[in-house]
Amino acid sequence: MTNYTKELEATASLLATPGKGILAADESTPTITKRFQALHIDATEESRRKYRDMLMSAPNIEQYIAGVILYEETLFQNALCGIPFPALLNELGILPGIKVDKGLIPLAHTEDEQVTQGLDGLPERLAQYKEQGARFAKWRAVYRISDNTPSTLALKTNAEVLARYAAICQTEGIVPIVEPEVLLEGDHTIARCEEVTEAVLVAVFKALHRHHVALEHIVLKPSMVINGKACPEKARVEEVAMKTVRVLRQTVPATTRTINFLSGGQTAEEASAHLNAMNQLGFKIWPLSFSYARALQEPAMKVWAGSDNNIRAAQMIFVKRAQLNSLASLGQYNKTMETEKAVLV
């Protein structure tokens, strides 16, 4: 890992640029197909390429986005202009990244819990991805909240796998995004989510320490502390912000380079409002930014709807969403901006 220290530092520093976040455009083929079909968009390799080209070629996007997580298909595709997507991003000063996990499988001897697979052959794949231009990677673990879950076994197993992945990445000169997602599905209260999130992060950072992962060269991508979707008690924006920051301050070492939240099923507006409220609290131990997928993409995808005629309008919606989250990462977002046309530069 020593040989790559300067490289890791340069990548981590760029990903932590104030006012910028990370676009998660790494939906697997089945996931993006499901989203396309819901909007009656033909789901083909070419339509996926056109859609992702629309996002990455949006005007001025480099002002708000520091990195883009790509799916393996996209990493090896050419943009519509004829150059590879990683080269297109590099020309804009945006870092290309890559999703490297192989999805979820059942965790034996648990109550419908899961563990992420993909460690086998990971060093070889990382070398190939790096040659194609990837500078950072992403690995997602999930934790389901119920009265009995997550179990101790799920906490420890997923933490161990996340740490092994992160250590392998750093030995290959790739900055790892460590993503422990506490799922929004369920009727749990925000208090129960706070309890689970704390246990998850404690387990993750203990495992990262055991595996000698350099925290200054990782991106932590956690979920926010929020009530379950089916919970009758909806938490206020300020409550989500306070509880999320409290958990982070209790569990995340100050040496962690940056925290870029996932949106995890929140609406675009909710994700911006919660991030903004956190940054307005003034606890600037680490940058608190975004690594959103649907909360950045969904409004633009609806406008695009698979038609070339809608590309410009969809790009404007996407850039506006990115700018609003950029402002939220600085504590400068305001709900009135949602309807202000002047928000675009």
Which amino acids are annotated catalytic?
179, 221
Residues 116, 162: Cα–Cα separation, whole Å? 9
* Residue the block writes with tokens 């809608």: 310
Give backbone dihedrals phi and psi of 140, rounded to 5 degrees, phi first.
Answer: -115, 130
Task: Show Cβ contacts of residue 122 under 8 Å, excluding neighbours closer than 6 positions.
Answer: 100, 165, 168
Query: Which tokens go with 171?
Result: 């030995």
Secondary structure tally for the chain: helices H, strands E: 12, 10
Task: Show Cβ contacts of residue 278 under 8 Å, excluding neighbours closer than 6 positions.
Answer: 241, 244, 245, 288
Q: How much of the chain is helix, strand and coil, in % rounded to 5?
A: 50, 15, 35
> Which of 80, 76, 85, 70 is closest to 32 using CA atoms?
70
Helices assigned H by DSSP within the chain: 5-15, 29-38, 45-56, 72-75, 85-91, 122-132, 152-171, 190-210, 237-251, 268-280, 294-304, 311-329
Q: At what angle do helices 45-56 and 294-304 cross, to 10 degrees?
A: 110
Query: Which tokens go with 282?
Result: 């003034």
Q: How far apart are the first and last CA of the chain?
A: 41
Task: Show Cβ contacts of residue 158 under 8 Å, excluding neighbours closer than 6 positions.
Answer: 115, 116, 141, 142, 143, 180, 203, 204
Residues 216, 257: Cα–Cα separation, whole Å? 5
The answer to whether the peptide bond before residue 84 is cis (omega within 30 degrees of 0) is no
> Which of 197, 249, 261, 203 is closest to 228 using CA atoms?
197
Three-class SS state of 76: coil
